[in-house]
């Protein structure tokens, strides 16, 4: 008599909790080992996380799409890390622009201060930008325009870390800098986008001066909720002249990644 896979796997008593999370909990067991389906799913998640780190972003295509969507001048920049291998070995090089990019920023600067610079960097997940940047901008940009904020040229950065936004903010003379960056991938989330907002960003600013909105993706924090949170932080930061630990986000989201009423 044949035995089905379901009969071979011994389920955990708390397996019902799996419907509330993408975390690998209550996988059950087959003898003293993980079930084959759970093992294959783990390997798939691991492969997706590795690809997220190493697969390059198509910056030319993304630049065209961002330019069409935003109607802004788009600057394509590169950090001081020459390639992906050096970027992973030397985080400090990913935190500053190379000479050509620094010169491009200086040429793009204006005498009048802008309210906000939007900086998109591949970070540790090109998939995060590919899948989430444009949907987020489609919701965010109309809110920015309704708020009457003056935007600096949009910056796309290859091999960039969060702190590269400090150089952009200083060069373009902006009151606020928001870095939209691919987050470190996990085995259940290889495509998470993060946003780091800094008031008066300048080289040397500490991470305590940044506000972070994390896990932006369809399965995490929704694009709508992320845009609302960012607009709330932008408004409060401009009003109070602070960011980071001095600026608390009092908003909350439900289990579906939407803002609570």
Question: Residue 74 has what DSSP assignment?
Answer: E
For residues 27 and 34, the answer to whether their CB atoms sit within 8 Å is yes
Model confidence band, residue 192 (pLDDT cutoffs 50, 70, 90): very high
User: Which pLDDT score, from 0 to 100, does residue 12 have?
Assistant: 66
Percent of the chain with pLDDT over 70: 90
CA distance 144 to 151: 9
The closest alpha carbon to 145, from 71, 247, 229, belongs to 71
58-246: CATH topology is Rossmann fold (3.40.50)
- Contact criterion met (CB below 8 Å) for 126 and 55: yes
From CA 250, how far away is CA 135, in angstroms rounded? 24
pLDDT tens digits, 64-106: 999 999 888 999 999 999 999 999 999 999 999 999 999 999 9
**Hey, what are 33's tokens?**
């080992």
| Tens digit of each residue's pLDDT (9 = 90 or more) over 131-172 | 999 999 999 999 999 999 999 999 999 999 999 999 999 999
| Rounded Cα distance, 63 and 76, in Å | 8
Give the C-alpha separation, 70 to 130, whole Å.
16
Give the residue-averaged pLDDT of 213-223: 94
Say whether pLDDT at 253 is over 70. Answer: no
pLDDT at 113: 84
The more confident residue out of 22 and 246 is: 246
Placement of tokens 């993706």 in the chain: 217
pTM of the predicted structure, to 2 decimals = 0.86
Please report the pLDDT score of residue 108 as a whole number: 93
Q: What number is the average pLDDT over the span 198-222?
A: 95
Whole-Å CA distances, 154 to 84, 240, 252:
23, 25, 29
50/209 Cα distance (integer angstroms): 30
pLDDT of residue 37: 80
pLDDT of the residue at 3 = 45
pLDDT at 256: 60
Query: So what's the pLDDT on residue 149?
Result: 96
User: Percent of the chain at pLDDT above 90?
Assistant: 66
Assess whether pLDDT exceeds 50 at residue 1.
no
pLDDT surpassing 90 at residue 36: no
Tell me what pLDDT residue 152 has: 95
């Amino acid at each position: 008599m044949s035995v089905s896979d379901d009969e071979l796997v011994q389920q955990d008593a708390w397996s019902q909790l799996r419907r509330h999370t993408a975390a690998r909990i209550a996988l059950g067991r087959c003898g003293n080992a993980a079930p084959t389906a759970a093992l294959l799913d783990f390997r798939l998640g691991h492969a997706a996380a590795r690809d997220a780190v190493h697969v390059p972003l198509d910056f030319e295509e993304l630049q065209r799409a961002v330019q069409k969507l935003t109607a802004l001048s788009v600057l394509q920049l590169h950090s001081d890390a020459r390639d992906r291998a050096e970027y992973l070995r030397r985080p400090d090089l990913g935190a500053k622009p190379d000479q050509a990019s620094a010169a491009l920023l200086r040429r793009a600067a204006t005498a009048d201060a802008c309210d906000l610079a939007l900086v998109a960097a591949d970070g540790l997940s090109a998939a995060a930008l590919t899948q989430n940047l444009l949907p987020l901008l489609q919701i965010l940009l109309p809110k920015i325009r309704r708020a009457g904020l003056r935007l600096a040229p949009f910056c796309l950065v290859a091999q960039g870390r969060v702190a590269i936004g400090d150089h952009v903010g200083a060069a373009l003379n902006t009151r606020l800098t928001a870095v939209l960056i691919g987050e470190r991938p996990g085995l259940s989330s290889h495509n998470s986008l993060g946003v780091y907002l800094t008031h008066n960003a300048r080289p040397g600013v500490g991470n305590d001066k940044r506000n972070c909105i994390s896990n932006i993706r369809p399965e995490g924090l929704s694009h709508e909720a992320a845009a609302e949170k960012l607009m709330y932080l932008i408004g409060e930061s401009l009003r109070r002249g602070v960011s980071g630990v001095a600026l608390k986000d009092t908003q909350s989201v439900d289990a579906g990644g939407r803002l609570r009423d």
